[in-house]
Every structure is written in structure tokens, then in C-alpha cells.
Structure 1
Amino acid sequence: MPWADLRQRAIAVWGFGREGRAALTALRAHLPGQVLDLFCSPSEVEAVRHAFGDDVRVHDIAPDAAALAAFDVVIKSPGISAYRPELLEAAARGTRFTSGTALWFATHRDAHTIAVTGTKGKSTTSALIAHLARSLGVRTALAGNIGLPLLELDDAQAGLWVIELSSFQTGDASGVDLGVVTSLYEEHLDWHGSRERYLEDKLKLASASSRVLVNAMQPTLLAHVAAHPDVHRFGDAQGWHVADGWIRRGDERVIEAACVTAPGLHNAVNACAALAALELMGFDARAAAPALATFAPLPHRLQPLGERDGLRWVNDSISTTPLASLAALESLQGERIALIVGGHDRGLDWSVFVDAMRVDAPLAIVCQGANGERIAAALEAAGVGVVHHATDLAGAVSKARALLDGHGYVVLSPGAPSFDQFHDYADRGRRFAELAGFDAGVASIQGLGVY
């Protein structure tokens, strides 16, 4: 939907997070003088007035179907499920729902784009692609779900756009040159409504892309994209993959995996995805590979914060599935660990995690947050004897510190979203850093924007 199609329409923005702000700013620039409406929470009204004055009519309520149906177009924030009953009813009455992501793609059809999604690895892979492209002298934009709404770069020019998309956004993409899918597991069932719909929505990126690059180590993922006319793979012996401590292109050793500054085998695989993506876009991936050694690892993803009072602190707040918590433990195998798990409860199955803890548990598992008691109960029922209880993150940090008694790792890898206590995972990670005794700025993402 180009901006011109929005002229003289009744338009509302639903949500006043960063995406909502970006949409309002872009609408005001492209449609000067047009009346705009906003649905937000009562606590956000003052911030709206400060940012936009009287240019926006504010409704400090959660809209029902009738309220939404009063508009021709509603631009919704990604976190609002496309399957909410009031949205579906308003759509049936003729209201069109779109997003800032969809508007950007509709008005930037000539941009050279790599869009990246995946249950895990999408942010690091996106940032790696941008970092490696820049090392080759390519003016590159890094934006999207990684922390910078596309509409904030509405007027920017770049030779390459690297765009991270969540499963909430993949259906809004169009005309993508290369879609990259890093992994596919069960997640966000509260938004999508079912595992099947989550998989279907995640893989909408393939339909929006001329070419698709997928993880060859995931047979289920390969099967889901088999019908696409132009599928490429990373992670197998024919292409970019990791073997014997090296990142390889087929049989060729290109760079040692240990050179990747982001820790863990999974990040070496993410580097393979980034190199393969660059190669498919026509860039010299081999020439870019040495820049893996200068990449600044993203915060909240097994991020070593440093040492305080004899304890080492690891921020893995991005972990929102039990499998991610397992991966965090595996990356620190053999260490003395107090693991903090729990958060917003969206009904995920923790049985695989519980089974693994029966065999090899850390020194302590501190369960906190809305689903903390459910996780603790499952572990205790399975005979896992290292379970400790806390109400919230602050209590969990205090308990972990006491349990380790000045020796070991405190690892926040919650395996659950943050919305029971925090605005998002980044807010949770910053608070963890503060509770550990670090400046919250240690948990900021580098490389966003265009350069």
C-alpha cells in the first residue's frame, strides 16, 4: 500500500511503542494535515501529547471491533496479534490492517533486501550480514525487529538493506531479494494460536522472497520450503558450514570458527548463514570472512557482562524457549552455574528441558516469574533436586548470588518472554545487568541504522 493510497482515508495507529511512534511520524510527513487517530494505553497519553501535540486524536482504550471498523485503515504494532477476534471482525467489515513494515516494503520496491527470520539466530545473523557487508565497503542498513523500525529509516539510502523480521512481521514483507531462515522451533503460540499457524506465518517470508536460504541441518525446515523454486542451503558440506573447528566453503577452509567473536558453535553456524547470504547477493564472502573477528556480539544473547564479586554474569535474556535455555547451559558446560529461568507463561512444553535436567543439571536452577512455579513443579516432580524459587527477577538474582557464594556463573536464560515483568527482553536484560552491578548501557546493540 503506497502512501498515496492513504490520502483522505480514515486512519488509525494501534499501539504506541517504537513502531507506533515511527508510523505516526511517517504519516505526518507523507500526509501533512490529515487527521490521525491513535489507540494506546492511558499511561502513554502524556508521551503522545509531548511528541505529537494536537496532530493526533488519542483514544486511551483497547479498541473493540466497532471502534476499529470505524477506520478505513489501521496500522497496528507487531505485538498485536493478527488473529484477535476484534481485528478479524473489523476486517470482515472492510477495515484494512497493515503495518509499518508493510508500508516500508510497498514504498521501497527497488531496494536490495536480505530479510532474515528464524526462531533463534535471526538477530545475530542479521547483524553479521550487515557487519560483513560494511567490511567490503557496502553502505548497509540494519533495521527491523532487531531494534530499529524500518519507517525510522524511511528516507535513507543504502546499497543493501538487512532486515530482521519476527514471525509477527514476515507476512508484511514483499519483493524480498533473499529470504534467510535460520531455524524453526515452537514459539509465540499465544500470538499465532497454534504451532501449525506459527510455522505457516514464519515461512511466509519464503513466499515473499525471490530466493530463500535455509539451515540444512533442520530437515523439517527444508521440507517446508521444498516447493520454493529457488532454495539454497547453509550448514551442509556442499556450502558454507562448520567442520573440525573451521568455517568452510565446501572442502575449503576459510577461517577458524574460534575467530567468530560471538561465542558458541551456533554462532559459527550463524556466521555461515551470513557468508552464504552475502555470496548469494553477489558479494565476495571469502574477502569478508576476516571481519568475523571484529564483530561486536549482540547483547542479551549469551552476552558475557563481566565479573562482579567473584561471579561471572551472562545475559541471555533473548532466550524465550526452553531449548534456548538448554543451549545456554551447553555453552558453559563444566562450569559452576546458577541458571535463572521463567517469565511470561505462554504455555510452552518444558518436558525436554526437564528430561535434560534429570541427566545433567547445573548447581542451581532458580525459577521466577509468572511461569516459574510451573517450571519448578515439573522439575521437582521429575526428581531434579537443585530447584529454587523466587517471585521476580530481582529475587532470583539475589538467590543466585547467595547460592554461588562468590564462585561461578549467574546465567539469565529464562526460556520465556519478559512481558510478566518487563516491556521486552531488552528491558529485562538491562535490568539484569543493573542487578548484577553493571551499567545498563552494556546491553545496547551496535550497528543499527545506515553506514
Structure 2
Amino acid sequence: MNAHELNGKRVVIWGAGMEGQAAATFIMENAKPATVDFIDDKSSPEDEKNAILARADIVIKSPGVSLYKPEVQALLARGVSVTSLLNLWLAQPHTAKIIGITGSKGKSTTSSLLLHVLHAAGCKVALCGNIGTPVTAINLQETEIAIVETSSYQAATLSQPCDIGLVTALYPEHLDWHGSVKTYYADKLNLLTHSHTKIATPQVISAAMEHHLTLAPDTLFMTKHDFHAEGTTLFESGQAIGSLDNPYLLRAHNLANVYAVLSIVRALGKDVGAALSAMADFKGLPHRQQELGVKDGLLYVNDSLSTTPQSAIAAMAAYAGRPLTLIAGGFDRGIDYAPLVIYLINRPHIFVVCLGESGARIFGSLRYLGMTGVAMAATMDEAVLIARLHTSTSINGGGVVLLSPAAPSYGLFKDYAERGESFKKASGV
């Protein structure tokens, strides 16, 4: 659906946040609907919302509104078109290459690293989407390559094509929105369905097969035969292509992001060796394993972007061998914390401070299994104070206090950024 198809229609924008506001601006500039109404689940009275939806021809749904809400399903059953700002934006005439990147883990780092290397190559490239910049802030007529970090919410309703689609990882997440793990995975994989060049990591293939989901036969499966590292030397198809002189990216979980970026660079027909060289000065993302500094012998690491057990495990693994206290927990989406609990039970030297609803679940599981090095905290200040008291400063280069929540921030903080800033303030570094 393109903007002209809104002309003369009764349009409803569902969601009053950044995406809804961007949708309103886009419609004003590109279409002439008969009416435009706004509804929001938090502020619109239920009877008013239902009355507006009852007369809608087209609904532009913000990502936070679940596709599986009964009201949305009723609209679809009635034949009402339910679309997204992303679809309207992609439907514009353009010559830009569109690269969609999604995944339960790694999509932000991969998207930002790809932006970094394409900038270095002299491309007119922009990054938008779930990373914080609305897609409509990017003029596709003036852009050579647009990288769209795509959430599972956005991928679920995607109907317009991308030139390249990448899925970095699949782990259970956002079950309150998608309803089940299988549906969540299928919605993520919808990005590949609507991409001309499809790229998936080995972990994605395994997770899809486990839930009886089929990937298209033309999907490019990344393997060690494509890219792999031996020390700092990277190999493509068995041939050395250069050195990765960036300790941050040489961490095991970040190497997967490096391989993904190089796979996209290759698909674009760009110089893979030059891209590898450009990675040397990539600094990483704020709130993603961000080393804030050392105070009183303790290194404080802000990994507030972590919302899954797997991302927290990856963050802890980066500091293996050092005394470590993990601060974890937040909003409870009902995901399975068994992988995190098992990891921690097998590493009793790690002290754990738990926050929030999911933190209470983690705390209960660890105590039930006999772990004593675990505590609950009511606030970030209290969590950091407890961590400071339980982390050694004199072994193997000093201890690490790691905020890697394995959960969203809702309920305790406005967003991951506020959570990360709260940790930084409490640490005093």
C-alpha cells in the first residue's frame, strides 16, 4: 500500500507515540484522506476507540499495538486494511537499496557496524527504524543505502520488499505481543519472506527448524566456510582477508555480528577487505557492554540494552575469569529464564543482584537451587551498593559490576537509556 491509496479514505492512526506522530506528518505531506482519526490504548476511552475503529477504512498501526489484539484481528476479519508507517515509507518510489536487519540479539550492533563500514566506503547511507530514528526522517531520494533496524513488531506486518534482509538470532522474546515463541520466530522471519537477498545465521536456522518453521530455499546460510576468525585474522572462503584490530569486536558474540556485516557488504558488491579495515575504530553502542570506567578497583559495565537471557550470558562471558556481579531483572514478559539460571548455577563465583518482576523470578529460581550469592534490590542505587560490597577488587585485574538485565525496563524506568543512566549515576564513574 502506498500513500496515494489513502486518498479519500477514512484513516485511523493507532498509537500516539513517536511512530504515530511521524505517521501523521507523513500523511499530511503525501496523501489526502477523507478523515484522519487518532486513537491510543493508554489515553482513548474504550467506547470512543471502538467507534472510531468501526468506521475505519485503513488503520496505520504503531509497532507497540499487537497484531494479535482481538480488535486488530476483528479489523482484518472485516476486510479493513491494517498497515504500518514502515510499509508506507517503503512503498515510495526510490532507487535506494533497503537493508532490513532484525534479530533477538545483535541487530543494533550489526546495524550500527554496517553503517560505520559503509560510511567509511563513501556510501550515502542512513540508519533508521527501531534504533530510534523514524524511517520517515530518511529521504529515500537522497540516500544510496538505507539500513532499517527492524523490530519483531515491524517485521510481523511487513509487506513491502527489502533488497537485503538479515536475521541475526532467534531467542524467545516479546511473548506478550506475539503470543507464542513460534509466532514470534515466524514474525521475525517475515523479513526474509519480503527480501530479495535473504541472509540467516546458523543459530537462526537451528531455532527455525526446532519450531518447524521453513526458510525459503534461496536463503543464504552463513557458515564458517563464509567467514571465520583465527586470532585476529579473518578468513573468507578459506582465504585470509585481513586483521580485525578491534578487541571489542573480537569477543565471541560480536564476531557473529562482524560476519553478518561482511556478508551484507559482499551481497552489496562492496570491498570486504576495506570493510574489515574500517572496523578497527568502531566504538560500539551506548548501553551495549559499554565500559563506563573504573572506580575503587571495580569496572562498571552498562549493558542496559540486554533484554534476553542470551544477551546477558554473552556479556558475562566477555569478562570470564574476573570477579563479577550481575545486576539483572526488570519487566516480566514471561520468557524462560532457565538458560540464565543454569549458566549462573554453574558459576557460583558470580554474585547476582535482582531487580523488578523478572528479577524476583530469577532470585526465586537461584535460591531454590541452592545458590546463596544472590540478593534482591528495590532500586538501582541499592543494587549498585550491594554489588560494590560483594565484588572483589584484587583478583585477576579487579572485579566487574555488570548491568545486563535480560529484561525490558518498563515499570522501573522509562526505557533502557534511562536505566543505563541510572546505573551510571549510581556507580559514580
Distance change (3 Å), C-alpha of 1:158 and 1:36: same
Q: Which residue of 1 aligns with 2:72?
A: 87
Question: Letter of the aligned partner of 1:19 in structure 2?
Answer: E
Q: Which residue of 2 aligns with 1:408?
A: 399
Q: Which residue of 2 aligns with 1:233?
A: 221
Are 2:168 and 1:182 aligned? yes
Alignment partners' CA distance in 2, 1:314 and 1:80: 33
What SS does structure 2 have at the residue aligned with 1:119? coil
Please, which runs of 5 or more residues in structure 2 have no aligned partner? none
Q: Which residue of 1 aligns with 2:410?
A: 419
Q: Which residue of 1 aligns with 2:127?
A: 142
Distance change (3 Å), C-alpha of 1:21 and 1:64: closer
Distance change (3 Å), C-alpha of 1:39 and 1:154: farther
Q: Which residue of 1 aligns with 2:54?
A: 69
Alignment partners' CA distance in 2, 1:6 and 1:140: 29
Alignment partners' CA distance in 2, 1:268 and 1:375: 29
Q: Which residue of 2 aligns with 1:51?
A: none
Distance change (3 Å), C-alpha of 1:246 and 1:222: farther
Alignment partners' CA distance in 1, 2:202 and 2:65: 32
Are 2:252 and 1:265 aligned? yes
Match of 1:100 among 82, 85, 106: 85
Q: CA deviation at 1:369?
A: 0.7
Match of 1:430 among 403, 413, 421: 421
Question: Letter of the aligned partner of 1:212 in structure 2?
Answer: K
Are 2:196 and 1:210 aligned? yes
Q: Which residue of 2 aligns with 1:121?
A: 106
Distance change (3 Å), C-alpha of 1:423 and 1:75: farther
Q: Which residue of 1 aligns with 2:306?
A: 319
Q: How does 1:334-349 map to 2 (within 5 A)?
A: 334-349=321-336
Q: Which residue of 2 aligns with 1:287?
A: 274
Alignment partners' CA distance in 2, 1:148 and 1:196: 29
Q: CA deviation at 1:242?
A: 2.5
Q: CA deviation at 1:385?
A: 1.1
Question: Letter of the aligned partner of 1:188 in structure 2?
Answer: H
Q: CA deviation at 1:81?
A: 0.8
- Would the aligned equivalents of 1:41 and 1:62 in 2 still touch at CA under 8 Å? no
Q: Which residue of 2 aligns with 1:4?
A: 4
What SS does structure 1 have at the residue aligned with 2:153? coil
Q: CA deviation at 1:372?
A: 1.8
Q: CA deviation at 1:98?
A: 1.3
Distance change (3 Å), C-alpha of 1:410 and 1:109: same
Please, which runs of 5 or more residues in structure 1 have no aligned partner? 44-58, 439-451
Q: CA deviation at 1:432?
A: 2.2
Alignment partners' CA distance in 2, 1:313 and 1:63: 49
What SS does structure 2 have at the residue aligned with 1:300? coil
- Would the aligned equivalents of 1:113 and 1:162 in 2 still touch at CA under 8 Å? yes
Q: CA deviation at 1:309?
A: 4.0
Q: CA deviation at 1:212?
A: 0.8
Alignment partners' CA distance in 2, 1:377 and 1:33: 54
Match of 1:364 among 335, 351, 355: 351
Match of 2:178 among 189, 192, 195: 192
Q: Which residue of 1 aligns with 2:97?
A: 112
Q: Deviations over 1:411-432 (max 9, x none)?
A: 1111111112223323322332
Q: Deviations over 1:210-254 (max 9, x none)?
A: 1111113554157578652422233x2321222344321122222
- Would the aligned equivalents of 1:367 and 1:373 in 2 still touch at CA under 8 Å? yes
Q: Which residue of 1 aligns with 2:241?
A: 254
Q: Which residue of 2 aligns with 1:443?
A: none
TM-score by length of 1: 0.87
Alignment partners' CA distance in 2, 1:334 and 1:242: 22
Q: Deviations over 1:335-390 (max 9, x none)?
A: 12121111111111112222222221344200111222211110000111101011
Alignment partners' CA distance in 1, 2:338 and 2:279: 36
Are 2:294 and 1:307 aligned? yes
- Would the aligned equivalents of 2:232 and 2:250 in 1 still touch at CA under 8 Å? no
Question: Letter of the aligned partner of 1:86 in structure 2?
Answer: E
What SS does structure 2 have at the residue aligned with 1:211? strand
Sequence identity of aligned pairs in percent?
A: 37
- Would the aligned equivalents of 2:9 and 2:35 in 1 still touch at CA under 8 Å? no
Distance change (3 Å), C-alpha of 1:154 and 1:103: farther
Question: Letter of the aligned partner of 1:232 in structure 2?
Answer: L
